[in-house]
Structure 1
Amino acid sequence: MIDYRVYVPSKKDKAVLIVAMIFTTAFISILFYNSIYILICTPIVYKVVYKPFCHYKCKKRQKAFLLMFKDLLHSLGSSFSTGRGFYDALVEAKDSLINIYGSDSLIVLEINHIIKAMENSGVSELQLLEDLGKRAGQEDVYNFVGLYKACIESGGDLISSVARGAEIIGEKINTENDIDVLISQKKIEGRIITAMPIGIIVFLRTTSPGYLDIMYGTFGGRLLMTLALIGMGVSYWMVERITAIEV
């Protein structure tokens, strides 16, 4: 099953990333150096971008899974309140989640895995949930599994625990959404400021084609262009780092 702590790009993702890096490198090469020879740096750019790309996709997938897991808890809580056991509650939850997310969604795949393991291998629900808690790579899921295990082993109030788990995850998602709204404007402003040198160069090349010849034709000019490019990269990294707030 999927390890949500690590993102392994598919062939399609890699192909899209490679094409994007080729076009990006070509654009930078022409704009900053008036040459296409910088395209030879595409493999280097790909290696630099690959890790942040995987990190972004991993976080995005974890966030999507957490939302689905919250809905799963709501469905399980409703079934538990009517006296159903874990297996029957999971089957009911599967049907409702298929209507919301589709049969190929992450949460439905996980439910199918748990159901098949319980039917064919006789693996206990606690073992399967503990495995999911580890693979999820999220504290909320892991903590809920621990709470569920404690309720099963000690005979605690399972219905209240499931409802509370869903409530906590829902509050976290709402808090993250509120933070995203608050910082989105600052993030956009930072990206605009970072991209301003590109706008200036495009403007000068459009209105005065020969104005930047000295920057393209001399060592000093190329050095300044390189420093400007590095400065843009550092600025973008700082903007993303400052606005990357985790709850």
Structure 2
Amino acid sequence: MIWKKKSIKKSENLKTNKNCSQQAINYDSYRFTFIEWLKYSFYAVGILSLISYVFYKSVIIFFVLLPFCFLYPKLKKKELIVEKKRRLLIEFKEAVMILSSLLNAGYSLENSVKEALVELRLLYVKDNLIIKEFEYICQLIYMNISVERAFDDLAYRSHCEDIRSFAKVLRIAKRSGGELESIIAHTVSVIGDKVRIKEEIITMTAAKRFEQKVMNILPLLIVLYIDFSSPGFFNIMYTTIIGRMCMSVGLTVYLFAIYISKRLLNIEV
């Protein structure tokens, strides 16, 4: 399926409701505020200062590598996008469970979405992602756009496989005129199980993630401790060509180890 064709065009929204298009969020992108950009840039400068001192003890190396610090916000952006999608999926699971229970209670699909929004406002604070999305869906329904197309739009913008699966099942069930309640309930159950497994994995690996962060910084702290407690101990590593080559190899291995540790803890379901 080509999800792009199912998305609600901003131009279409602007013709009917200016605020409606502004609520549509693309979850595959993230825009930093100026404060966030400064925060992550200064963090990268701090890490670069530490690495430059530990591996090279060279101000020249620091200034040569300094421009790369401004690439860190782009790398951080990927992590923030993943975290944003994760929060959306968790909240979406709760929303569709409420939606399923309302359908089983005899509400129509359109009214179930509206009532689900009322329940979500009791569960979450006003600025939560899922509340914004259900408010947006309700506005689309008010504009005579079908529920299934509204969920297709969310699926396209979320870039989340579970939400896409739900939107696809909803569209097929609505068109086929089958037992919508039982089909939605089964789909919600599958999505709920997947989300629960993902959260259990994150919980089980939380300690390992903390250990990973400690182990990432520990080698640098050990070198700093030896350097300050025994001045001149590492001088040969900073004043000879062979020493600098060894430190460069050590830096490469160190960065590769950090990369591998992150990949090992990135478990997909």
- Normalising by structure 2, we get a TM-score of 0.82
Matched, 1:220 2:242: yes
CA 229–170 in structure 1, closer or farther in 2 if over 3 Å, else same: same
Partner of 1:146: 168
Displacement of 1:83? 2.1
SS of residue matched to 2:267 = coil
Secondary structure of the residue that 1:177 maps to in structure 2?
helix
Within 5 Å, give how 1:198-209 maps onto structure 2: 198-209=220-231
Answer whether contact 2:92 2:130 (CA < 8 A) is retained: yes
Determine helix, strand or coil for the equivalent of 2:232. Answer: coil
Residues 107-148 of structure 1: per-residue CA shift (max 9 Å, x gap) = 1111111112222x3222122111111112121111111111
Q: Is residue 137 of structure 2 the alignment partner of residue 114 of structure 1?
A: yes
The match for 1:132 among 151, 154, 167 is: 154
2:7 is aligned to none
2:155 is the counterpart of 1:155: no
Determine if contact 1:73/1:165 at 8 Å carries over to the other structure: no
C-alpha distance 171-220 of structure 1, shift in aligned 2 (>3 A): same
Select the residue among 42, 48, 58 that pairs with 2:66. Answer: 42
Aligned 8 A contact 1:74 1:162 in 2:
no
- Indicate conservation of the 8 Å contact 1:205/1:211, yes or no: yes
CA distance in 1, matches of 2:232, 2:188: 63
User: How far apart in 2 are the matches of 1:132 and 1:79?
Assistant: 20
Instruction: Select which of 82, 94, 99 maps to 2:105.
Output: 82
Please tell me the residue identity of whatever aligns with 1:98: R
SS in 2 for 1:88: helix
Q: Does 1:59 align with 2:82?
A: yes
Report the Cα offset of residue 44 of structure 1.
1.6
| 1:46 shift after superposition | 3.4
Partners of 1:67 and 1:194 in 2: how far apart? 30
Cα distance, 1:183 vs. partner? 4.3
Separation of aligned partners in 2, 1:143 and 1:227: 46
Long gaps (5+) in structure 2: 1-23
What is the CA distance between 1:50 and its match in structure 2?
4.2
In structure 1, the partner of 2:11 is: none
Distance 2:196 2:105 in 1: 28
Partner of 1:164: 186
Q: 1:102 to 1:189 in 2, by over 3 A?
A: closer
Secondary structure at the residue paired with 1:229? helix
Return the offset for 1:189: 5.0
CA distance in 2: counterparts of 1:181 and 1:116, whole angstroms: 36
Task: Give the whole-Å Cα distance in 2 for the aligned partners of 1:213 and 1:91.
Answer: 70
Does the 8 Å CA contact 1:71/1:166 hold for their aligned counterparts? Answer: no
Whole-Å Cα distance in 1 between the matches of residues 129 and 202 of structure 2? 24
Structure 1 CA distance for aligned equivalents of residues 261 and 110 of structure 2 = 47
CA contact (8 A) 2:41 2:73 kept: no
* TM-score computed with the length of structure 1 as normaliser: 0.88
**Aligned mate of 1:98, from 108, 121, 126:** 121
Cα shift readout 1:216-245 (whole Å, capped 9, x = no counterpart)? 223332222222111100111112123322
- Flag structure 1 segments of 5+ consecutive residues without an equivalent: none
Counterpart of 1:28 in structure 2 is 51
Structure 2 distance, partners of 1:95, 1:134, is 24
Residues 103 and 183 (structure 1), Cα distance of their counterparts in 2 relative to 1, 3 Å cut: closer
Q: Does 2:254 align with 1:246?
A: no
Report if aligned partners of 1:65, 1:106 keep a CA contact under 8 Å in 2. yes
